[in-house]
Amino acid sequence: MKPTKPAKVETIAHKDHTILIPPATLRDRAMSMVAGDKDAFDFSALERAQEALAELEADFTGWMKEEAERLEAARNTARATPNEPSVRDALYRVAHDIRGHAETFGYPLAGRMADSMCDLMDGTDDISGAVYELIDAHVDAIRAVVRDNVHGSGDDVARSVVHELIAAREALLGVSLLEKIDVSTLP
């Protein structure tokens, strides 16, 4: 595929504000000209991406173990000063990183556990008492999934733990996070 010039940002100026509309380059990068069809998908790009991902796959377990260790360290720091904003932010950030990386690294259940932990921390300002005990349970469950190399989402025990963590989080916060969203206001 021939490289193209970067598209320019469209600017719409109003009296009291300016709107910047970035170029839609993702589609241009993902598509290529095949027999004159500008909308044909470049499958060779997908194959190259899959090959690159397969080469990195051997490192995924090591990376997840590092993430689990970071989570354990952040939890231990939070034990001493649980409501110190920087400590709380650090614990949340590690859980958030796991939430984002776990599925790519082959640990989707750890990702769901980290997602529940982030939702728990989003739902409360005080991480002491029962909230901290539930954070502990999330951290321990994530570490167990990584330690035992529970890849995929087929492990019945780990799936059961995910559901129990979510149920405990909802009971502790008093509401399902999905119930907080008023879907009638969504576009």
Given this model, what pLDDT does residue 110 score?
95
- Spatial distance between the Cα atoms of 187 and 120, rounded to a whole number of angstroms: 26
Residues 6+ apart with CB under 8 A from 15: none
- CATH (residue range 59-180): 1.20.120.160
Neighbours of 94 (CB within 10 A): 23
Where do the domains of the chain lie? 59-180
| Residue 158 amino acid letter | A
- Spatial distance between the Cα atoms of 162 and 72, rounded to a whole number of angstroms: 18
107, 145, 159, 179 from 171: Cα distances, Å: 26, 24, 18, 13
pLDDT tens digits in sequence order for the chain, 187 residues long: 455 555 677 778 777 777 777 776 666 555 545 545 555 667 787 788 888 777 777 788 888 999 999 999 999 999 888 778 999 999 999 999 999 999 988 899 999 999 999 999 998 888 888 999 999 999 999 999 999 999 888 889 999 999 999 999 999 988 665 554 444 554 4
Neighbours of 70 (CB within 10 A): 17
